[in-house]
C-alpha cells in the first residue's frame, strides 16, 4: 500500500528533517510504501530568502549597503544548510520523482498513491507558513481521495475566524485527523471537527537504540552544556554559561548562523544531523527552546532545561505534560538547582512506550480501512 506524505521536509532544520525520516520509517515498518511529496514552495528557496531580505531592507530605509551586508552575513549559513540538509534528504528520504513548487503544480500532476497523509511538524501553522499553505491541507486532491493526518501541528492555541473559515472545508474531507499537541485537539474540536486524536511526534515513536545508527560519536568524550536557541533568547545563553561555570563544563552552541560566534561559548556551526543527535545524547545538560531538542533529550535520557519563548510555547508545554516532565520547563529564568531536579527517565520511557502503542493503534485503524 503506497502512502504519500506531505510535510515540512524542505525547511532545512534538524527537527523537520528527523520527523520526516521518522514518519517514513514508521509507515514502512507498518508494511506501507511511504513516499514524501517533494513540495518545495518558494519561501524555502534562495528566491524566497532574497525576497525576505528585500522586505527587511525596506524597513531599514531601502539602504542597498545594508542589503548587501545582510546577504554577506546570511549567504554562508544558507549554503551550508543546503549542503547538510539536502545531503540527508538524498541519503535517507524517499521523495517523489517530481518536485512541486505550488498548489497548481500538484493539481496538474497529482502524485499517485493509495492514500495521502498530512505529516507532522508545524504544517498547519499559518504564522510559520506565511499564511494558510493549502497543499498541507491536501487541497490538490479530488474529493474522493483518502486523506488522513499524522501528528500535524497547528502551532497555536487558537485560530482567527478567517483562518477557520478557510481551513475548515479542507479538514472536513479528512477521514481521520491526529495532531501532535493537546492544544491542537482543542482548536479543532472548537471548529466542530470531532474524533481528533493526539499522537506522538514521529521522532518519539522510536527509542534510543533505534536512533543509534544516526548518531555521531564526535563529541562523546567531551564534557559540555549544549544550547539550541531557536528564538535567540539571551536567557538560554546566560543560563548555560552559569551552569557551565558551576560544573566546570564547556558551552557548545548549535546554530545555523556563523555570526553566532560572538555568543558566549563555542559555536558548533550547522553540524550534520548525526552530529546534532550526538551533541544532545552526550551532553551533560541541554538548554533549549526547541521541541525536537527536548524530544531527543527525552529519548536519550539527557538532563535538559526548557526556557519557554514568549510565543509558540504550546508544543513544548504539551510534550512536557505528556511525559510528566513539567519540572523541566520554565517561563522565567530557572535556578541552577533546577537543572539537577530529579527526572525519572525510566518512567518517561515507559510513558513513551504506552503512547507509541496508542499511535500504532491509530495508524492500524487507518490502514485497516484502506485494505
Query: How far is 153 from 184, CA to CA, in rounded Å?
Result: 7
DSSP tally for the chain: helices H, then strands E: 12, 13
Location of C-alpha cell 531601502: 62
What global pTM score does this model have? Answer: 0.93
Q: What is the pLDDT of residue 259?
A: 84
pLDDT tens per residue across span 318-365: 999 999 999 999 999 999 999 999 999 999 999 999 999 999 999 999
Decide: 153 and 124 in contact? Cβ < 8 Å: yes
Within 93-134, where are the H helices? 103-108
Phi first, then psi: what are they for 196, rounded to 5°?
Answer: -85, 135
pLDDT above 70 as % of the chain: 92
Q: What is the pLDDT of residue 79?
A: 85
Question: Residue 54 pLDDT > 70, yes or no?
Answer: no
Topology classification of domain 2-205+354-370: Rossmann fold (3.40.50)
Q: Which CATH architecture has domain 209-340?
A: 3-Layer(aba) Sandwich (3.40)
At 229 the three-state DSSP class reads: coil
C-alpha torsion 350→351→354→356, nearest 10: -100
Do the domains 2-205+354-370 and 209-340 sit in the same CATH topology, yes or no? yes
For residues 67-74, average pLDDT: 67
First to last CA, the chain: 8
Q: Closest Cα partner for 293 from 260, 315, 263, 261? A: 315
pLDDT tens per residue across span 239-248: 999 999 999 9
pLDDT tens per residue across span 181-224: 999 999 999 999 989 999 999 999 999 999 999 999 999 999 99
Query: How far is 193 from 186, CA to CA, in rounded Å?
Result: 10
Among 68-77, 302-311, 319-328, which is the least confidently predicted range? 68-77
Q: What is the pLDDT of residue 89?
A: 96
Query: SS3 sequence, 275-329?
Result: HHHHHHHCCCEEEECCHHHHHHHHHHCCCEEEECCCCCCHHHHHHHHHCCCHHHE
pLDDT top residue among 158 and 366: 366
Q: Give me the residue spans of the domains in the chain.
A: 2-205+354-370, 209-340
C-alpha grid cell, residue 35: 513516499
For residues 7-18, average pLDDT: 96
How would residue 47 be classed by pLDDT, with cut points 50, 70 and 90? low
pLDDT tens per residue across span 252-275: 999 998 888 989 999 999 999 999
pLDDT tens per residue across span 99-132: 999 999 999 999 999 999 999 999 999 988 889 9
C-alpha grid cell, residue 40: 518545495
Q: Closest Cα partner for 275 from 328, 228, 340, 343? A: 228
Question: Residue 225 pLDDT > 90, yes or no?
Answer: yes
How would residue 66 be classed by pLDDT, with cut points 50, 70 and 90? low
Amino acid at each position: 500500500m503506497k502512502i504519500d506524505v506531505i510535510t515540512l521536509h524542505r525547511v532545512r532544520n534538524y527537527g523537520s528533517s528527523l520527523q520526516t525520516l521518522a514518519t517514513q520509517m514508521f509507515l514502512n515498518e507498518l508494511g506501507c510504501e511511504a513516499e514524501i511529496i517533494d513540495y518545495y514552495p518558494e519561501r524555502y528557496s534562495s528566491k524566497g530568502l532574497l525576497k525576505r531580505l528585500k522586505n527587511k531592507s525596506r524597513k531599514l530605509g531601502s539602504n542597498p549597503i545594508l542589503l548587501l551586508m545582510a546577504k554577506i552575513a546570511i549567504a554562508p549559513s544558507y549554503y551550508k544548510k543546503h549542503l547538510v540538509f539536502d545531503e540527508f534528504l538524498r541519503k535517507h528520504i524517499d521523495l517523489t520523482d517530481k518536485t512541486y513548487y505550488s498548489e497548481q503544480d500538484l493539481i496538474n500532476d497529482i502524485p499517485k498513491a493509495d492514500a495521502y497523509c498530512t505529516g507532522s511538524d508545524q504544517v498547519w501553522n499559518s504564522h510559520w507558513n506565511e499564511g494558510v499553505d493549502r497543499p498541507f491541507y491536501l487541497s490538490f486532491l479530488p474529493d474522493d481521495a483518502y486523506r488522513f493526518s499524522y501528528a500535524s501541528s497547528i502551532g497555536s492555541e487558537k485560530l482567527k475566524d478567517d483562518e477557520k473559515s478557510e481551513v475548515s472545508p479542507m479538514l472536513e474531507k479528512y477521514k481521520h485527523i491526529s495532531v501532535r499537541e493537546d492544544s491542537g485537539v482543542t482548536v479543532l474540536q472548537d471548529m466542530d471537527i470531532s474524533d481528533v486524536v493526539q499522537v506522538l511526534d514521529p521522532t518519539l515513536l522510536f527509542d534510543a537504540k533505534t536512533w543509534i545508527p544516526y548518531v555521531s560519536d564526535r563529541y562523546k568524550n567531551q564534557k559540555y552544556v549544549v544550547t539550541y536557541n531557536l528564538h535567540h533568547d539571551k536567557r538560554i545563553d546566560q543560563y548555560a554559561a552559569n551552569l557551565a561555570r558551576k560544573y566546570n563544563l564547556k558551552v557548545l552552541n548549535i546554530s545555523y548562523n556563523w555570526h553566532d560566534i560572538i555568543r558566549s561559548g563555542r559555536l558548533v556551526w550547522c553540524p550534520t544531523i548525526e552530529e546534532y543527535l550526538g551533541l544532545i545524547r552526550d551532553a551533560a545538560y541541554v538548554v533549549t527552546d526547541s521541541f525536537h531538542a527536548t524530544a531527543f533529550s527525552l529519548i536519550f535520557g539527557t538532563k535538559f532545561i526548557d526556557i519557554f519563548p514568549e510565543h509558540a510555547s504550546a508544543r513544548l508545554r504539551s510534550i512536557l505534560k505528556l511525559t510528566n516532565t513539567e519540572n523541566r520547563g520554565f517561563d522565567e529564568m530557572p535556578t541552577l538547582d533546577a537543572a539537577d531536579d530529579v527526572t525519572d527517565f525510566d518512567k518517561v520511557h515507559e510513558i513513551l512506550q504506552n503512547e507509541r502503542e496508542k499511535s500504532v493503534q491509530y495508524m492500524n485503524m487507518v490502514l485497516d480501512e484502506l485494505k
